[in-house]
Amino acid sequence: MTDDLQKEELELFVGLIMDKCGMRLTRNRLIRMKKVIVERMTEIGVNDITEYYRSVTSGEKSGEELSRLCSSIMTGEHRFFTNEDILSKTAEYIADKVTSAKTRNGKPLARVWFPYCSWGEDPYSFSMLLTQKLEPGMMKSVEILATGTNRYDVEKACTAMYPSSSLTELGRDRITRYFKSEEAGKKVTKNIRNMVTFGLIDLVNGIFPSMLNGTSGLHLIVLRNVLTFYNWKIAERIISKFHECLYEDGLLLLGVGERLPNMAGWEGVEGTEGRMYRRKNTASIPGVSPGLEVLKTSGHVAPGVSSTMRSPKGRNLYVERAQDYLSTGQTRKALITLTEAVSSGVDDARIYLRLADLYASRNDIEVAEKKCYKAIDIDATCAEAHVLLGVIKLRKGHYKESMDNLRKALFIDPNNHEVKLHIARVLDRMGKRTAAREVYTRIVNEGGDSSSPLIMDVAKKALEEVSVN
């Protein structure tokens, strides 16, 4: 295989990446794309670019390889404490949220999301800065979620291991305080690692906000020059979805090369050079969606529904249409579609489950709870409905009821390690640390190759924490 790939060969990938991922490919990115393609071909042992193109566009792992390719193009050389001044301001904002709030039933007082975690440098840096602004006992009041679009990147971030050569700019004091030496390099200390939960979310096609994946009810979203990789249509869709994720007055921090020009629902924060924006409600993006009658009178919902939509096949159409709206950031239209399904007399547990998650994501917990109960009434074997209801009860501080629902979900799906994680968290909140430790241990021991590496990482971190305490 030669590094000298032909223009015609590269054009195949240009069209694929622009169409499938919505990426903008500048001259520098085209150069990087060529380098990444060669690296990937070498790594998987493919000598012919046509053969590699087929592996990206078809086959069992085509989607995973395309995601890996795009992610590798986006991933540059990241450093700890990049743009430290503004990152420190966001840490102060979260610290103020925690110190000025009243603890309620053990619920987190501040929630932060890093939608593109790269190899973990930014979320770990933020956690390190936060430890300087909060007392150790208050750190548990902050939840930090860091996600990526590619499993390889997220798993690398979970290791928290970095070559010593990449940390030289930090200075001896920070290296000593936040890292420990190992044979492979420097590893972030356990207390910092345990502050961050990693996961996988596709920013372009993924569904968020959602209580189930932790992307709802946020106080801060930190992004770093990710939107510049997408065309403006895709970037606008992502920003609209971020708007739904945040509480009123929640903050969105962008990278140096990103701006939100004249977008409704956002207000620039003074003194941040156009990089920080505060969420504001607008008429077009309401905090709480209107009821069905209001939607009908405003012309958003047709008064009549065809017999096709009433049929079992039609029930799937409602769900699929709503999923399409959600994946493109059109939360309001998704809610209208699902509400229309309910109005037409369709009884489908999936519809009520998605409605419950939508309302929960908009922090309308009481309505979300009722929708969960309705989903369970229709289909008592709907494990996801029991899980969501358990998570809602946990957020409300109703630990016993939360445990009851999670145990029902586990009875339906005994091998679901994610449910076991929720159960362990409830036990920990109830003060039953020994029982929580046993559940975390069971997840780690039973996980093996069948469990998600990300779930295993969360379980291992939690097990370390409850074992110490």
Q: Would you say residue 179 has pLDDT above 90?
A: yes
CA torsion sign, 384 to 386 to 389 to 390?
Answer: negative
Cα angle, residue 276 at apex, residues 273 and 278 outer, rounded to 5°: 135
Mean pLDDT of 400-409: 94
Report the pLDDT averaged over residues 381-388: 92
User: Contact 295/339 with Cβ under 8 angstroms?
Assistant: yes
Measured between alpha carbons, how far is 463 from 469 in angstroms, rounded to an integer? 10
Per-residue pLDDT at 127 exceeds 90: yes
Q: DSSP string covering 383-436, please?
A: HHHHHHHHHHHHHHT-HHHHHHHHHHHHHHSTT-HHHHHHHHHHHHHTT-HHHH
What is the per-residue pLDDT across 34-66, written as a single tens digit (0 to 9) for each? Answer: 888 888 888 888 888 888 888 888 766 667 777
**Looking at the predicted structure, is the pLDDT value of residue 1 above 70?**
no
Give pLDDT, residue 8: 66
Could you give all domains of the chain from N- to C-terminal order, each with its CATH number? 7-74 (1.10.155), 84-279 (3.40.50.150), 292-468 (1.25.40.10)
Average pLDDT of the chain? 80
The confidence score (pLDDT) of residue 311 equals 37
Question: pLDDT band for position 364 (50/70/90)?
Answer: confident
Average pLDDT over residues 417-431: 89
Residue 451 binned pLDDT confidence (cut-offs 50, 70, 90): low
**pLDDT-wise least confident of 243-257, 419-433, 442-456:** 442-456
Among candidates 469, 399, 121, 447, which has minimal Cα distance to 460? 447
Length of the chain: 469
Mean pLDDT within 2-19: 67
Q: DSSP 3-state assignment of 224?
A: coil
Query: Which whole-number Å values give the CA distances from 70 to 156, 228, 393, in the listed order?
Result: 16, 14, 38
Least confident piece of the model among 101-105, 184-188, 241-245: 101-105
Q: What is the DSSP letter of 230?
A: B
- Residue partners of 169: CB distance under 8 A and separation at least 6: 79
Q: Which of 257, 270, 205 is nearest to 21 (CA)?
A: 205
What's the confidence (pLDDT) of residue 99?
A: 86
How do residues 190-225 score in pLDDT, each as one tens digit?
Answer: 899 989 988 888 888 788 888 888 898 899 999 877
Q: Which residues pair with 112 in a beta bridge?
A: 144, 220
**SS3 of residue 47 by DSSP:** coil
In angstroms, the first-to-last Cα distance of the chain is 55
- What value does the mean pLDDT take over residues 427-441? 89
Whether the pLDDT of residue 288 is over 50: the answer is no
Cα 269 from Cα 92, distance rounded (Å)? 14
| Mean pLDDT (whole number) for 349-363 | 86
| Among the listed residues 128, 118, 117, the one whose alpha carbon sits nearest the alpha carbon of residue 90 | 128
Distance separating alpha carbons of residues 280 and 111, to the nearest angstrom:
18
The pLDDT of residue 389 is above 80 = yes
Rg (CA), the chain: 23
pLDDT of residue 219: 94
pTM: 0.72
Please give the structure tokens belonging to residue 79: 């450093």
Please report which confidence band the pLDDT of residue 347 belongs to, taking 50, 70 and 90 as the band edges.
confident
Flag whether pLDDT at 289 surpasses 50. Answer: no
